[in-house]
Structure 1
Amino acid sequence: MPERRPRRTDPDRRDRIIDACLDVVVASGVSGTSHRRVAAAADVPLGSMTYHFTGMDELLREAFSRHARSVSDRFEERMTAARDAEEARRAVVGLVTADVATSRRDLVLTHELYTLAAREPAFRDITDAWMARSRRALERHFDPTTARLLDALIEGLTIHRALDAPGVLTPADVALVADAVERITPARPARRR
């Protein structure tokens, strides 16, 4: 009787596949992401893909959900640490200048997710949940309308940062972001006439 080889255990395989999917999306875009490319990047047999995921849509949903949670966690941590509106304003500036827009990987993944959700309504629940979580974090310090405006400002400035020439933010860039946040969230409420 031939000797049986021990079965290879790989309890982290599914997570590794999800992480590899994100890497492939960064390198090739959603349109260039395939089971074969992800399996190669994860260093797993191609058959593992169908064992762990029913198809590419499920894998992309898992991968983009992981990305959205990761960015949302950083966002929420920064806003939770703010003790008052002034610290919250500084936190928003930090989100734009030091968190959300600093990693090329995060920028590419975010824009790939937005494009996918714009084309495929089935992915909008990921972006909707992400935006809702961001707004809830902002609403700890700002009214709902201001939170929505700040969320849009953060997204818009992030897009601009992604398209700007690569490089380090200058103090003038940070000052511009701080000015924009201040304009949306004045330190003192406007007087009614």
Structure 2
Amino acid sequence: MSSQHSSTGSRLGRRNDPERRERIIDACQKVIVESGVTGTSHRKVATQAGVPLGAMTYYFDGMQDLLHSTFSRFATSISDDFERHMATATDKESACERVFERILQASSGDDDELILSHELYTLATRDASFRSITTQWMQRSRVALELHFDPLTARLLDAMIEGLTIHRALDSEAREPSEIKTAIARITKDSRKGSLST
């Protein structure tokens, strides 16, 4: 709940463990990956975080607030990484390579990003309050891409990153990395000199 909470014990606990709120968000993210949003509860998150169940309401105004905080931090982290990654490109050719690397990494299935992304997309489809998170995420991605591409190309690349990531991650058949480079080359052919080799 808010900082006006009157429980002395909660306040002492907060002073003794200033990172508790972040631990709860970490735990919520793990529970979502394991059980989905529909299977996430205060009790499961508290158990995962190793905190008393009553502590949950000190830091968050209900499950909606906890989910919003968890997905906001997740989306911000992805955006931060993508911005840093795109900022290392020195020209459009290397920018295309960064986009390729991003799709390959995101569709590898080696981490929890795909699950969390889809859980967020589902929430944003049903609940407008979560759409602000996805909107900001897309805006930041386009800004990072616009360092190297015109706005329309950046928007198309952003959509392609999401689409190809989903297709590659969920297809039971192996997909060749060369198809990613082919797609990038086709979208960017009118926005840069040269072509991306496949």
Query: Which residue among 135, 138, 141 is the counterpart of 1:131?
Result: 138
Query: Which residue among 55, 80, 83 is the counterpart of 1:76?
Result: 83
**What is the DSSP-based 3-state SS (H/G/I as helix, E as strand, rest coil) of the residue aligned with 2:177?**
helix
Corresponding residue for residue 101 of structure 1 = 107
Alignment of 1:184 with 2:187, yes or no, is yes
Q: CA deviation at 1:59?
A: 0.5
**What is the DSSP-based 3-state SS (H/G/I as helix, E as strand, rest coil) of the residue aligned with 1:173?**
coil
Alignment of 1:31 with 2:38, yes or no, is yes
Corresponding residue for residue 19 of structure 2 = 12
Alignment of 1:111 with 2:118, yes or no, is yes
Contact kept in structure 2, 1:104 and 1:162, CA below 8 Å: no
In 1, the alpha carbon distance for the partners of 2:168 and 2:24 equals 29
Contact kept in structure 2, 1:101 and 1:161, CA below 8 Å: yes
Corresponding residue for residue 93 of structure 2 = 86
In 2, the alpha carbon distance for the partners of 1:146 and 1:38 equals 41
In 1, the alpha carbon distance for the partners of 2:185 and 2:50 equals 48
**What is the DSSP-based 3-state SS (H/G/I as helix, E as strand, rest coil) of the residue aligned with 1:89?**
helix
In 2, the alpha carbon distance for the partners of 1:144 and 1:53 equals 38
Q: Which consecutive residues of structure 1, in runs of 5 or more, have no partner in the other structure?
A: 1-6
Q: Which consecutive residues of structure 2, in runs of 5 or more, have no partner in the other structure?
A: 1-11
Q: CA deviation at 1:78?
A: 1.2
Alignment of 1:149 with 2:151, yes or no, is no
Q: CA deviation at 1:77?
A: 1.1
Sequence identity of aligned pairs in percent? 55
In 2, the alpha carbon distance for the partners of 1:104 and 1:126 equals 21
Q: CA deviation at 1:27?
A: 0.5
In 2, the alpha carbon distance for the partners of 1:38 and 1:180 equals 41
**What is the DSSP-based 3-state SS (H/G/I as helix, E as strand, rest coil) of the residue aligned with 1:129?**
helix
Corresponding residue for residue 4 of structure 1 = none
**What is the DSSP-based 3-state SS (H/G/I as helix, E as strand, rest coil) of the residue aligned with 2:176?**
helix
Q: Which 4+ runs in 1 deviate beyond 3 A?
A: none
TM value normalised by structure 1: 0.88
**What is the DSSP-based 3-state SS (H/G/I as helix, E as strand, rest coil) of the residue aligned with 1:54?**
coil
Aligned-CA RMSD value? 1.6
TM value normalised by structure 2: 0.85
Q: CA deviation at 1:160?
A: 0.9
In 2, the alpha carbon distance for the partners of 1:25 and 1:51 equals 21
Q: Amino acid of the residue matched to residue 20 of structure 1?
A: A
In 1, the alpha carbon distance for the partners of 2:91 and 2:159 equals 21
